[in-house]
């Protein structure tokens, strides 16, 4: 590999023929590894990874309509990497039969595990229409290296009958020689002080958790970086409201709106429309945050020049825990939790987005109200449009998760039958009767909305494979007896999801 030194003194390593005029700007941004694989025939390469993820992992598909976009489909012979990052890795794995798999392997490791940001940059390298194929040996070598053996066994189960013997033989041969992946962790950058005096809006949707929300306001009042405003949208029924619960002398402008609509997506949308900050922090009502929580979000986005980030969300053991408990838990976490790099998810309890990106992609899809998946939907929409969404381990929260209250009250209704059950927003004109749809129709809607038919089909196979064979195999006869009913539940879920797809995304 050859070296390129930027005017700031940083050394980049490269192989191939990159456009050197682009490297200066790229080195000043969020990326750690850059390539042009999507313009060189690698778009959506190695779809066999669907046997492990199927849906839910945002990066199983590529988004080539953006000049710069997150992607791990990297050529092995045409990429640029920061020297400081490369020296923290074990480099390319040359044990594959086809060399192109070495590039995918490296970029996959960096993106999914190591905490590096891997970006496809259009026109960084000359267009080179590469031809690739994945041999059976390379497929199993990749699976056995990165995933549990269960995934290889599932892949054998999904193989055509005519290929099963060859699949089994390859699995048995490689299982003896393939080593599990040895984790690499890229050291995070040092955060620079906040530049300028950007206005920050913090939005909180809440419902029947007023005491918790009032406690969160105290945490927000003690921040090392003063918020411009806090927008609180409260759906607590009028009869259950506590007078004066949000009164106080706060160092920010507190806007309280009593929600007349239903659902957390609608609440967040109403809050977003009332906000004016250059940065918008998404928060839940049942969290505790440290004093530097907001400051670290702004420092992180400015240091990395990223567009959005999602923070470190720590689950409490019980709702009465506090910041001392959070500190204790953080002291005992595996170092992997403190990596940075590309975010694998988006969490409405702890995320920060630049205003221009909220204006670009719009509001939350209210089709998710009453169900699950709205934050994942928002995150993948950011990525699809070219936003660099990163994981920020510096902004930490303790998620209290009380048993009662909150917008999940609507989700709890979905488990009920009969007259006591409150209709869910996703039901439309087709009310749930005797068969409760499982999984949540909004999860199925997320799958249909963002993944291919083939991937959704694979999700269904994986779903029932796990239903039958995961956990206690002694209960297999009972599971088989219940399988017909579970299939009906899954079918119901898909019917509601298809109805939402026909309806289209809704933002008002």
pLDDT in tens, 31-88: 999 999 999 999 999 999 999 988 889 999 999 999 999 999 999 999 999 999 999 9
For strands 389-399 and 287-289, give the pairing.
antiparallel
Lowest mean pLDDT among 193-197, 362-366, 436-440, 474-478: 474-478
Distances (CA, A) of 386 to 65, 380, 381, 389, 494: 8, 10, 9, 9, 29
How buried is residue 267: exposed, middle or buried, by Cβ count under 10 Å (0-12/13-18/19+)?
buried
* Backbone phi, psi, residue 314, to 5°: -105, 125
Lowest mean pLDDT among 61-70, 152-161, 173-182, 233-242: 173-182
What pLDDT, on the 0 to 100 scale, is given for residue 411? 59
- Count of CB atoms within 10 A of residue 350's CB? 25
C-alpha dihedral over 407, 411, 416, 421, to 10 degrees? Answer: 50
**What band does 297 get if pLDDT is binned at 50, 70 and 90?**
very high
What pLDDT, on the 0 to 100 scale, is given for residue 403? 76
pLDDT over 90 (residue 437): yes
Lowest mean pLDDT among 1-15, 294-308, 410-424: 410-424
Alpha-carbon distance of 170 to 159, in angstroms, equals 13
∠ CA(202), CA(203), CA(209), 5° rounding? 120
- Cross-strand bridge partners of residue 203: 231, 282
pLDDT over 80 (residue 408): no
pLDDT over 90 (residue 399): yes
What pLDDT, on the 0 to 100 scale, is given for residue 418? 64
* Superfamily (CATH) of domain 200-399: Spore Coat Polysaccharide Biosynthesis Protein SpsA; Chain A (3.90.550.10)
What pLDDT, on the 0 to 100 scale, is given for residue 414? 62
What pLDDT, on the 0 to 100 scale, is given for residue 413? 61
Alpha-carbon distance of 69 to 71, in angstroms, equals 6
Q: What is the mean pLDDT of the chain?
A: 94
Could you tell me the residue ranges of all domains in the chain? 2-135, 200-399, 418-503
The closest of 47, 62, 60, 51 to 147, measured between CA atoms, is 51
pLDDT over 70 (residue 410): no
What pLDDT, on the 0 to 100 scale, is given for residue 56? 83
pLDDT in tens, 317-367: 999 999 999 999 999 999 999 999 999 999 999 999 999 999 999 999 999
Quick check: bond before 342 cis, omega within 30? no
User: What mean pLDDT is predicted for residues 438-443?
Assistant: 94
The closest of 204, 195, 197 to 351, measured between CA atoms, is 204
Q: What is the DSSP letter of 194?
A: P
User: What mean pLDDT is predicted for residues 449-476?
Assistant: 88
pLDDT over 90 (residue 374): yes
Lowest mean pLDDT among 132-136, 229-233, 458-462, 487-491: 132-136
């Amino acid at each position: 590999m050859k070296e390129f030194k930027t005017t700031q003194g940083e050394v980049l390593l490269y192989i191939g023929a990159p456009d050197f005029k682009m490297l200066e700007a790229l080195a000043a941004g969020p990326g750690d590894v850059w390539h042009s694989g999507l313009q060189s025939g690698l778009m959506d390469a190695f779809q066999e990874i669907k046997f492990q993820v199927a849906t839910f992992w945002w990066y199983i598909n590529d988004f080539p309509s953006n000049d710069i976009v997150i992607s791990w489909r990297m050529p092995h012979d045409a990429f640029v990497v920061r020297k400081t990052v490369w020296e923290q890795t074990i480099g390319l794995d040359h044990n594959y039969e086809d060399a192109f798999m070495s590039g995918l392997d490296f970029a996959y490791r960096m993106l999914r595990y190591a905490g590096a940001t891997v970006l496809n940059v259009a026109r960084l390298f000359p267009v080179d229409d590469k031809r690739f194929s994945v041999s059976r040996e390379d497929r199993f070598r990749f699976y056995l290296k990165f995933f549990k053996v269960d995934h290889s066994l599932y892949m054998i189960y999904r193989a055509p009958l005519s290929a099963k013997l060859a699949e089994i033989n390859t699995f048995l041969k490689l299982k003896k020689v393939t080593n599990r992946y040895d984790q690499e962790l890229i050291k995070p950058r040092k955060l620079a002080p906040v530049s300028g005096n950007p206005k920050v809006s913090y939005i909180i949707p809440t419902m029947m958790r007023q005491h918790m929300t009032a406690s969160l306001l105290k945490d927000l009042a003690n921040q090392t970086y003063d918020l411009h405003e806090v927008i609180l949208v409260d759906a607590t029924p009028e009869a259950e409201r506590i007078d004066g619960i949000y009164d106080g002398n706060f160092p920010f402008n507190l806007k309280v709106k009593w929600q007349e609509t239903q659902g957390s997506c609608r609440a967040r949308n109403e809050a977003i429309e009332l906000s004016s900050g250059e940065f918008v922090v998404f928060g839940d009502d049942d969290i505790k945050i440290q004093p530097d929580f907001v400051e670290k979000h702004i420092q992180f986005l400015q240091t990395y020049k990223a567009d959005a980030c999602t923070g470190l969300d720590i689950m409490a053991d019980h709702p009465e825990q506090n910041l001392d408990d959070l500190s204790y838990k953080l002291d005992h976490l595996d170092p992997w939790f403190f990596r940075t790099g590309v975010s694998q998810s988006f969490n409405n309890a702890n995320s920060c987005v630049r205003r221009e990106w909220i204006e670009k992609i719009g509001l939350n899809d209210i089709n998710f109200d009453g169900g699950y998946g709205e934050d994942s939907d928002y995150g993948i929409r950011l990525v699809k449009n070219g936003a660099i969404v990163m994981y920020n381990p510096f902004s930490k929260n303790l998620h209290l998760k009380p048993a009662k209250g909150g917008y999940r009250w609507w989700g709890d209704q979905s488990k009920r039958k009969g007259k006591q059950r409150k209709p869910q927003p996703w039901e439309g004109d087709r009310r749930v009767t005797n068969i409760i749809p499982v999984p949540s129709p909004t999860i199925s809607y997320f799958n249909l909305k963002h993944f291919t038919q083939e991937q959704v089909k694979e999700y269904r196979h994986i779903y029932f494979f796990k239903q039958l064979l995961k956990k206690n195999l002694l209960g297999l006869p009972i599971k088989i007896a219940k399988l017909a009913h579970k299939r009906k539940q899954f079918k119901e879920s898909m019917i509601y999801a298809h109805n939402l797809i026909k309806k289209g995304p809704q933002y008002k």
